[in-house]
Structure 1
Amino acid sequence: MSSSPLNQRIVAVKPITVPAPDRSGDLQVKVTAPLSGQNLPVIVFSHGNAWSLDGYEPLVDRWAAAGFVVVQPTHLDSRRNGIGWDDPRFATIWRVRIADLHAVLDGLDNILVQAGGLETRVDRERIAIVGHSWGAQTVGALLGARVLDADGVPGEDFSHAAVSAGALIAATGAGDTLTPFAVEHLPFMRPDYSTMTTPALVIAGGKDQSQLSTRGPEWFTDAYHLSPSPKSLLAIAEGEHTLGGIAGEMVAETTDEDPARAALVADAISAYLHDAFKLNDAAWTDLNNAAAASDGTWSIASK
């Protein structure tokens, strides 16, 4: 099923510091890219809670091998920063996360220079953002989603003009179904997807039961069902929150370790973005055909 050229040599450069003057602590990123190739599309990736630029190699390495330049910031909630639920900074970290992605996109040229001359090899008209879990909600904001306040009023527009496509992996669902813990500590987990107009692929696991919502795994499909087209949904029946181990091989939080499942997630995003960027639709077509023959193990819907 996978068509990623995994024999392609890649290189990673870290850490690169990105100007973010109003931030508490430096914003640092890692850049992973193929050693050869021109007019390369870009993925900016937002990690899940507590992770860093050093995670998600099962995704990032496959994307780079497939011809993408991948930029990974470390957000303020990374466990290496030691900011807990009760830290006064935690209440606004969701905004800092969004600001991080804006800083990366606005400072992309300088990042590419520091990554070893990549500025001459990148196609700046083909930039995508991808995120997992909290990172998916962060990415959704740049794709046009907004955050509802306590009265259900949508907040400000954080979309970014440079972004032309995206992917949301295990994205926060909508509705007033947060658990008491989430209401107290994570009240910003109330996305409004009705304004998320940018093309995107939503990926959800059929066994992903969030401890932050009273709903079942279908909560993670809201980003698809409640947003305007064009959107696609990859549903993986046996997938849990880390979808086979996308954050890393054998990491402690992986409850459904399956390298093939993690590879499916990576390659589906590569195929979708190549199609969305009008570079090559063959891999996305093949993936849709494979999904139709998968006996319900995984499926793809589009609108």
Structure 2
Amino acid sequence: MRVQRLVAALLVALVAGCGPAVAASDDRVPSFRPAPPRPYAVGVRHFVVDPDGSRPLPVTVWYPAEPTAPAHAIQETAGPVSWPDVPVAAGRFPVVVYSHGLHSLPDLHAPLTTRWAAAGFVVVAPTYPRTNLRARDFTRADVRNQPADGWRLIRHLVRLDARPGDPLAGHLAVDRFAAAGHSAGGFTTAGMFASGHSRRLRAGIVIAGGGLAGSFAGPVAPLLFVHGGADPIVPESVGRAAYARSLGPAAFLGLPGQGHGEYLAPGRPGFAQVLAATTDFLRWTLYDDRRARDRLPADAVLPGVTTLTTRALPDRA
């Protein structure tokens, strides 16, 4: 009964609306390279967006690091080691804004986000002010304001890329963003795809989430949905309804019999398929890697563990 009340309260809060997505300028950035053939070492840094404002936004950043950084062997369970403040690898990298769920923190998603960084993406994960694990004034309904926080972070990163002296300056492909998130972070991700959103946002990954009011409008972008078939917090039907509502290319990765996110833990059934499918999807949509798109169906499906439904996946994003 308690779980049912939680689901009802969460969905009421999430469908009530969200802050507007304010588009950033769509200037294009030159000097972008193909998807990297080998994994990188992974660096990590932290900063705060608008530290003196009404909604300060602490941010954790995982990024591809220089080859001269310490060894980066990716262990099956622990994943890449994140080295604080090591130099960023040469080149520009697409950016993934990753949103945590209720009572969570960015570091709790590191098994996934560090592997994306090793694959050649800068992953920026905000700690939302009123829904994180340590929030003093936790408010579930504040999820409706988080899509605007995500766009505030994107605008900050565009400015940061042009800021002399910042370690990330000149390393962000600021015309190649994706949004991703789990649970309430999945709803946040959907809410970033609102009417009038910037074309900088080229793709989205909604994990154990669904749509917010006003989601899936504006410029069409490919979307990947990931959901457990026995999710007791956000029922799979909510994710499938969002998939059906979304516009343009989309895929739905189902995990029959699984719950709200155990498949995000290394070594658990489905983790390898979720990691491979999300990485393929990001390489396809942000690096224009057609081979990754072609690999995605085979990488995503393990009979008895995962299923995949796709719609209109074109040659490129």
The two structures have a TM-score, normalised by structure 2, of: 0.69
Residue 266 of structure 1 pairs with residue 289 of structure 2: no
Could you tell me which runs of 5 or more consecutive residues in structure 2 were left unpaired when the two chains were aligned: 1-35, 66-88, 312-317
The 5 A counterparts of 1:189-228 are 191=213, 193=215, 195=217, 197-210=220-233, 216-228=235-247
Residue in 2 that maps onto 1:301: 309
Deviation at 1:300, TM superposition (A): 1.9
CA pair 128-32 structure 1, distance change in 2 beyond 3 A: same
Equivalent residue for 1:59, pick from 100, 112, 124: 112
- Partner SS for 1:277: helix
Q: How does 1:1-303 map to 2 (within 5 A)?
A: 8-14=40-46, 16-19=47-50, 23-24=54-55, 26-35=56-65, 36-76=89-129, 77-85=131-139, 91=141, 93-111=142-160, 117-144=167-194, 157=195, 159-172=197-210, 191=213, 193=215, 195=217, 197-210=220-233, 216-246=235-265, 258-259=267-268, 261-291=270-300, 294-303=302-311
Provide the secondary structure at the position in 2 that maps to 1:67. Answer: coil
What amino acid maps onto 1:282 in structure 2?
R
- Partners of 2:111 and 2:172 lie apart in 1 by 22
In the alignment, is the contact (CA less than 8 A) between 1:141 and 1:159 conserved in 2? no
Q: CA 1:260–1:119 in 2, change beyond 3 Å: closer, same or farther?
A: farther
**Are the aligned partners of 1:44 and 1:70 in contact in 2 as well (CA < 8 Å)?**
yes
2:118 & 2:289 partners in 1: Cα distance? 16
Question: Does the Cα contact within 8 Å between 2:100 and 2:183 map onto a contact in 1?
Answer: yes
For 1:222 and 1:126, locate their aligned partners in 2 and report how far apart those are by CA, in whole Å.
Answer: 27
- Give the partner amino acid of 2:242: A
**1:54-104 CA distances to partner (integer Å, 9 max, x unpaired)?**
22001111000100000010002112122245xxxx54x124312211110
Q: In structure 2, do the counterparts of structure 1 residues 131 and 120 end up closer, same or farther at CA, with 3 Å as the change threshold?
A: same
Change (3 A) 1:122 1:195: closer
AA of the residue aligned to 1:207: A
Name the CA distance, whole Å, in 2 between partners of 1:115 and 1:261: 42
* 1:97 partner letter: Q
Cα RMSD (Å):
2.8
Match of 2:72 in 1: none
| In 1, Cα distance between equivalents of 2:287 and 2:135 | 39
Distance 1:282 1:244 in 2: 25
Q: 1:114 to 1:30 in 2, by over 3 A?
A: farther
Runs of 5+ unmatched residues, structure 1:
145-156, 174-189, 250-257
- Residue 271 of structure 1 deviates from its aligned partner by 0.7
> Do 2:102 and 2:132's aligned partners in 1 also have CA atoms closer than 8 Å?
yes
Tell me if the contact between 1:172 and 1:191 (Cα under 8 Å) persists in the aligned partners.
no
Taking a change above 3 Å as real, the CA distance of residues 134 and 231 of structure 1, as seen in their structure-2 partners, is same
Separation in 2, partners of 1:54, 1:96 = 22
TM-score, reference length from structure 1: 0.72
Amino acid at match of 1:272: F
Q: Percent identity?
A: 26
Q: Which amino acid aligns with 2:154?
A: L
Aligned residues: 250
CA 1:268–1:274 in 2, change beyond 3 Å: closer, same or farther? same
Question: Residue type of the partner of 1:289?
Answer: A
Q: What is the deviation of 1:299?
A: 2.0
**Which AA in structure 2 matches 1:50?**
H
Cα deviation per residue 1:233-289 (whole Å; 9 max; x = unaligned)? 11122431114245xx7xxxxxxxx44533432332121121123532223322312
Q: Which amino acid aligns with 1:27?
A: L
Q: Which runs of 4+ in 1 moved over 3 A?
A: 4-7, 109-116, 157-161, 190-197
2:263 partner amino acid: G
How far apart are the structure 1 equivalents of 2:106 and 2:196? Answer: 22
